[in-house]
Homo-oligomer: A and B are copies of this chain.
Amino acid sequence: MQKHTRVTAKDVARLADVSTSTVSRVLSGKGADLIGADTAERVRSAASTLGYSPDPIARALRGEQTFLLGLIVREIADPFFASFVSTLNSQARALGYQILLSHAHSDPKEALQVAAVLDARHCDGVLVLGDLRDDEAAFQTLLQREKAIVGLCRGHAPGSLYTVNSDNELGVRMLFEHLWSLGHRRIAYLDGGWLGDIRERRDAFLAVSAEKGVTPPNGSIRVVNSDMAGGKRGAVELLGLTERPTAIMASDDAMAIGALRAVLEAGLQVPGDVSIVGFDDIDASAYTVPALTTVRQSIDEMSRQALRLLIGLIATENRPEPGTLIRVKPELVVRESAGSARVP
């Protein structure tokens, strides 16, 4: 355990009275079949009495797998991403991998630096959670260089990035249909302003609106920060519209929570006067008053798929279709924040 008392292959070799090469062969499994059964046994027992396990650093230097996975997250403090990181971390560890965490905020330059660091650390692969604002292209270009990369929650990422995503369009459709069936026709949208996931949702919103033959009232698409503060500010603006929307759809739950606060603060009822829906189903959404009607992204499933994909990429040379995009189905969660539209 102590650094100075680290047990090495040499120690095991000495105890088992073999060479270090034999130790390596037995323990790594490569060429273990050529080793005499008794010798192998001796090595194994020596290793276990000594509590030996090969040093990942030495392995890395030799160019072997490091079992390190880089994780670049747009914003760890975002509750949705936080849950995601948590799940990813647990699942990765169960698969024998460790997570090297990196924050990229929204800055692609930072992401570049971070990617370089991850590369320097000999990560076997990297996960990119959430899209970065603006300079997406440069970011991608660089990431192509890495051996194995999987994007998560980045919408329909262009290029040959492997990606795992929610079916954002389906999610938005479910939400929209739900509002529609409650009689809402004047539905405003709070756009978080990102490129990937969030952009897909807005596009889907626009598409469904068009299909339904309604045009969102003038100025009712607001681009704001995708956090509670942004949601609040956006909603305040929306409430000032001459044709006040009867429902507000937000790009994500954090924004919806901000919007909820804004509407309530204005002395209006939710859902009596204005209905609100979000996206993600973060923990807090079940505890607002009224509780948020939203769409649940299956973090567990997405995480599992992403890890499977990434580890597959690491293991094999012949990769699946570049550009592979896995969509995970979201699920409508009806709670209290959306109700019948008040007849005008």
From 88 to 130 in chain A, residues with beta carbon under 8 angstroms from any chain B beta carbon are 89-90, 93, 98-103, 105, 114, 116-117, 119-122
Query: How many Å lie between the Cα of A264 and that of B291 in the bound state?
Result: 11
Chain B positions within 8 Å of A75 at CB level = 86
Asked if B103 and A90 make an inter-chain contact with CB atoms under 8 angstroms apart, the answer reads yes
A145, A257, A265, A288 pick with most chain B CB within 10 angstroms? A288
Per the bound structure, the CA–CA distance linking A86 and B105 in Å amounts to 10
Are B120 and A228 interface neighbours, CB within 8 A? no
Does A185 touch B at the CB level, under 8 Å?
no
Interface residues on A, range: 35 or more
B residues in contact with A61, CB < 8 Å: 55, 57-58, 61
Rounded to whole angstroms, the CA-CA distance of A77 and B77 in the bound complex is 9
Partner of A98, one of B78, B102, B283: B102
Would A122 and B2 count as touching, CB distance under 8 A? Answer: no
CB atoms of B90 and A86 under 8 A apart: no
Residue of B nearest to A84 (CB): B77
A55 closest partner in B (C-beta): B120
Chain A residues at the B interface, C-beta cutoff of 8 Å: 1-3, 53, 55-58, 60-61, 63, 68, 71, 75-79, 82-83, 85-86, 89-90, 93, 98-103, 105, 114, 116-117, 119-122, 142, 145, 147, 227-228, 232, 257-258, 260-261, 264-265, 283-284, 286-289, 291
20 contacts between A and B (CB under 8 A): A2-B145, A56-B120, A57-B57, A57-B60, A76-B85, A77-B82, A77-B83, A77-B86, A79-B284, A85-B85, A89-B101, A90-B103, A98-B100, A98-B121, A99-B102, A101-B101, A228-B283, A260-B287, A261-B287, A261-B288
